[in-house]
């Protein structure tokens, strides 16, 4: 089977093969013009991407036609035993296959230490998790900084109704980040590095020792029907942390944890967070940013149709003062969001300094622009429902606010603004200057 010629494409964009070679892709049709590879030998071109992405998902779904199924029992994976070696062996066989492969972890309870698998692989891979996978209780027994890390693959699907259980309650007691700047980072449940055109759906991550999920260097990566669960007092257990990735979607997801439900680090571009329920937790956050000189810009972030319940923050942008980072944060949209007893429902905080571990002598150097705050309703747990505390060094620009209807104890919540001149339309609390504390 040969690829279509480039003339047949009305619109195409360059994509990378996993081996680094270029190919063209026609979004309106199938893959086309693979000048150095036939479709059969090109991992990027396998899996028959659908012509029409699903609503809200600017990526690709893959049809696993005539896929080969591998159960971990083939490699000795049994309930109540460590399945790390079995899963690693199953991955090796799947990755070498020229046909699509589904790895199955059946229902049951399993133990697992650190697994680190990577591509490039020759065909799409699906991991169907129907069991509960438990990490060792003690962080030092996991054997790595993430329970399961997958990297450098295209067309990955993780599915099922299974659970990755980090058993983090013992580790949370060791967390000393509120006391030490250079604190020890405890292990995460899941890590996805440099993965393209992939989806995680249906599974649950529970009680991670540190972040539940870390997404790094990924493109067109979607979480759909995902679930994160941990107590509200589990420190530093961000639900999904995204960094240096483009086209990540978090859809139809429930997150209850002890830190940010979704956190977006530097280099996050074209990210959609839609129909997410967050709480308990610290809200949905862009940042923190500016702490390091080498950070990359953040752009094109949309948070839409979400509900936050009892969180310590709602939607926020947070940047450090008195730090070397100078990136830009632009094209942010917070729309159609419901707050239920949320402290600080909408906040731009350019004096972010957790645990007073920094100086505020110099303002943040992070430039924030083109921010839309629209259709925010519900109840605030603080009198100030809208706080825009922008940098005095690089004031916010292009901020538009419309239809913000928040109440606090039955009365309208207030708004404070500094170093920003927002455009106001519709019902919005009057934006006043913050009160200066007397020495």
Q: What's the CA dihedral at 122, 126, 127, 129 to 10 degrees?
A: -170
CB 258 within 8 A of CB 233: yes
Provide the 3-class DSSP secondary structure of residue 169.
helix
- Using CB atoms within 10 Å of the CB of residue 11, give its burial: 0 to 12 exposed, 13 to 18 middle, 19+ buried: exposed
Neighbours of 37 (CB within 10 A): 17
Element (H, E) at 94: helix 84-96
CB 35 within 8 A of CB 23: yes
Contacts of 20 (CB under 8 A, 6+ apart): none
Contacts of 11 (CB under 8 A, 6+ apart): 26, 27, 28
The predicted structure's pLDDT at residue 358:
79
- Using CB atoms within 10 Å of the CB of residue 393, give its burial: 0 to 12 exposed, 13 to 18 middle, 19+ buried: middle
pLDDT tens, per residue, the chain with 439 residues? 333 333 333 333 333 333 333 333 333 333 333 333 332 333 333 333 333 333 333 344 444 445 799 999 999 999 999 999 999 999 999 999 999 999 999 999 999 999 999 999 999 999 999 999 999 999 999 999 999 999 999 999 999 999 999 999 999 998 877 666 667 778 999 999 999 999 999 999 999 999 999 999 999 999 999 999 999 999 999 999 999 999 999 999 999 999 999 999 999 999 999 999 999 999 999 999 999 999 999 999 999 999 999 999 999 999 999 999 999 999 999 999 999 999 999 999 999 998 777 788 899 999 999 999 999 999 999 999 999 999 999 999 999 999 999 999 999 999 999 999 999 999 999 999 875 543 3
What is the C-alpha separation between 423 and 299, in angstroms, rounded?
20
Q: What is the pTM of this model?
A: 0.85
Active site residue ranges: 282
| Residue among 287, 355, 366 nearest 322 (CA) | 366
Contacts of 135 (CB under 8 A, 6+ apart): 112, 113, 142, 147, 164, 165, 166, 167, 187, 189, 209
Domains and CATH numbers, the chain: 6-45 (no CATH), 59-212 (2.160.20.10), 260-439 (2.160.20.10)
Contacts of 162 (CB under 8 A, 6+ apart): 105, 107, 129, 130, 131, 132, 133, 203, 204
What is the C-alpha separation between 66 and 80, in angstroms, rounded?
31
DSSP 133: E
Q: Strands of 350-430 (E only): list them.
A: 367-380, 384-389, 397-408, 411-412, 414-418, 423-425
Omega before 335 within 30 of 0, i.e. cis: no
Residue 46 CA: distances (Å) to CA of 121, 158, 221, 273, 382: 11, 17, 17, 28, 52
The predicted structure's pLDDT at residue 184:
73
The predicted structure's pLDDT at residue 434:
78
The predicted structure's pLDDT at residue 41:
32
What is the C-alpha separation between 104 and 137, in angstroms, rounded?
25
């Amino acid at each position: 089977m040969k690829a279509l010629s480039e003339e047949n494409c009305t619109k195409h964009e360059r994509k990378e093969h996993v081996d680094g070679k270029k190919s063209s892709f026609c979004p309106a049709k199938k893959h086309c013009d693979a000048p150095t590879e036939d479709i059969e030998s090109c991992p990027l071109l396998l899996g028959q991407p659908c012509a029409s992405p699903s609503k809200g998902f600017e990526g690709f779904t893959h049809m696993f036609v005539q896929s080969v199924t591998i159960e971990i029992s083939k490699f000795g994976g049994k309930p109540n035993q460590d399945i790390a070696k079995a899963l690693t062996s199953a991955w090796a066989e799947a990755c070498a296959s020229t046909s699509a492969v589904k790895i199955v972890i059946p229902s049951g309870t399993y133990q697992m230490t650190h697994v680190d698998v990577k591509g490039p692989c020759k065909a799409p891979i699906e991991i169907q998790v129907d069991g509960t996978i438990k990490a060792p209780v003690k962080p030092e027994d996991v054997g790595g900084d993430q329970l399961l890390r997958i990297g450098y693959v295209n067309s990955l699907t993780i599915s099922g109704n299974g659970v990755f259980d980090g058993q983090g309650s013992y580790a949370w007691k060791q967390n000393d980040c509120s006391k030490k700047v250079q604190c020890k980072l405890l292990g995460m449940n899941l890590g996805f590095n440099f993965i393209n055109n992939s989806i995680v759906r249906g599974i649950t991550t529970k009680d991670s020792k540190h972040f539940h999920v870390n997404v790094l260097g990924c493109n067109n990566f979607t979480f759909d029907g995902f679930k994160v669960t941990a107590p509200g007092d589990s420190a530093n257990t961000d639900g999904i942390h995204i960094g240096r990735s483009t086209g990540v979607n978090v859809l139809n997801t429930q997150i209850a944890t002890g830190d940010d439900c979704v956190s977006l680090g530097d280099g996050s571009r074209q990210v959609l967070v839609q129909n997410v329920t967050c709480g308990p937790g610290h809200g949905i956050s862009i940042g923190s940013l500016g702490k390091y000189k080498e950070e990359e810009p953040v752009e094109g972030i949309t948070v839409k149709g979400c509900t936050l319940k009892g969180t310590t923050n709602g939607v926020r942008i947070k940047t450090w003062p008195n730090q070397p980072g100078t990136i830009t944060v632009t094209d942010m949209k917070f729309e159609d969001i419901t707050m239920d007893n949320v402290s600080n429902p909408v906040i731009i905080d350019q004096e972010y300094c957790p645990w007073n571990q920094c100086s505020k002598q110099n303002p943040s150097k992070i430039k924030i622009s083109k921010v839309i705050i629209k259709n925010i309703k519900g109840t605030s747990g603080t009198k100030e429902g809208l706080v825009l505390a922008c940098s005095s060094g690089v004031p916010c620009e292009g901020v538009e606010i419309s239809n913000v209807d928040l109440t606090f104890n039955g009365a309208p919540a207030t708004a404070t603004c500094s170093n920003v001149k927002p455009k106001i339309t519709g019902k919005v609390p009057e934006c006043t200057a913050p009160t200066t504390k007397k020495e």
